[in-house]
């Protein structure tokens, strides 16, 4: 059996990564979502083990020290990391896996998995990004401001990715990502 594809999806806070990933999970049977560990406090409606594995700082440090994370990064005051075993087991089973992670972590994954597919999700404009993050209503104004200032730096790193997808409409963005994955499966690899 051939190994699955490792897909990394990054993009600024509020661009629609979570929304697009949920929509893709309903459309792509062979696609598995990597659930990250984080020290961030759960938002209303988020479930442990579904959206994230919510960890204390001690628990997160333990995962780091025991090499249980494929990559990790600090983002706006919290730690986020990808559990390693699940990624490796999923790829071995022949399924594709999508990691929804920020840019520093994505660059670390690229060093370890240069054959991965790196997709950056862009907002139609910075004003629209601001409207989306504010409209979601999950963050304080100070956190929104911090995330928007980080967004500009994140977007400047789009050149490290293989594909840039504008999330103007959810269905259109999903179709673009599905098309990328289909094409990557057809690729002749040397």
Ligand X SMILES: Nc1nc2c(ncn2[C@@H]2O[C@H](COP(=O)(O)OP(=O)(O)O)[C@@H](O)[C@H]2O)c(=O)[nH]1
- What residues line the site for ligand X (CB under 6 A)? 13-14, 17-18, 36, 40, 71-73, 75, 80-82, 100-102, 105
- Lay out the site mask for ligand ADP across 19-48 (x = CB under 6 A, - = otherwise): x-----------------------------
User: Does 15 contact ligand ADP by CB under 6 A?
Assistant: yes
> Are 164 and 49 within 8 A, CB to CB?
no
CB burial string 166-185: b at 16+ within 10 A, e below: ebeeeeebbebbeebbeebe
Write the DSSP string, 58-86: HHHHHHHHTT-EEEEEEETTEEEEEEHHH
Residue number with CB closer to ligand ADP (28 or 166): 166
Query: Helix, strand, coil % (nearest 5) of the chain?
Result: 45, 25, 35
Q: Report which residue's Cβ sits closest to ligand ADP.
A: 16
CA angle, residues 66, 117, 41, in degrees to nearest 5? 45
How many residues make up the chain in this entry? 190
Backbone CA torsion sign across 133, 134, 140, 146? positive
Q: Smallest distance, Å, CB 100 to ligand ADP?
A: 7
Q: Smallest distance, Å, CB 152 to ligand ADP?
A: 15
36 binds, among ligand ADP, ligand X, none (CB under 5 to 8 A by kind): ligand X
40 binds, among ligand ADP, ligand X, none (CB under 5 to 8 A by kind): ligand X
Residue number with CB closer to ligand X (71 or 96): 71
CA distance 92 to 104: 25
Helix (H, G, I), strand (E, B) or coil at 113: coil
Question: Binding site for ATP, residues?
Answer: 11-18
Per CB under 6 A, which region of 2-10, 12-20, 59-67, 72-80 contacts ligand ADP?
12-20
User: Does 18 contact ligand ADP by CB under 6 A?
Assistant: yes
Report which of 168, 165, 125, 173 is spatially closest to residue 10, judged by C-alpha positions: 165
Residue number with CB closer to ligand ADP (15 or 97): 15
Site for ligand ADP, rule CB under 6 A: 11, 13-19, 132, 135-136, 167, 169-170
């Amino acid at each position: 059996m051939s190994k699955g594809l490792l897909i990394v999806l990054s993009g600024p806070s509020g661009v629609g990564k979570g929304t697009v990933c949920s929509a893709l999970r309903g459309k792509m049977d062979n696609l598995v979502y990597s659930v990250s560990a984080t020290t961030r406090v759960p938002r209303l409606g988020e479930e442990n083990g579904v959206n994230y594995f919510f960890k204390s700082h001690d628990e997160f440090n333990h995962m780091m020290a025991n090499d249980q994370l494929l990559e990790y990064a600090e983002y706006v005051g919290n730690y986020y990391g990808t559990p390693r075993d699940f990624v490796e087991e999923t790829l071995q089973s022949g399924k594709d896996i999508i990691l929804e992670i920020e840019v520093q972590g994505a660059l670390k994954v690229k060093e370890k998995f240069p054959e991965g597919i790196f997709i950056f999700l862009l907002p139609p404009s910075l004003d629209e990004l601001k409207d989306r993050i504010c409209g979601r209503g999950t963050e304080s104004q100070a956190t929104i401001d911090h995330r928007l200032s980080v967004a500009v730096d994140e977007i400047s790193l789009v050149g490290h990715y293989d594909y840039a997808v504008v999330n103007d409409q959810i269905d259109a963005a999903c179709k673009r990502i599905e098309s990328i994955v289909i094409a990557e499966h057809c690729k002749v690899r040397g």
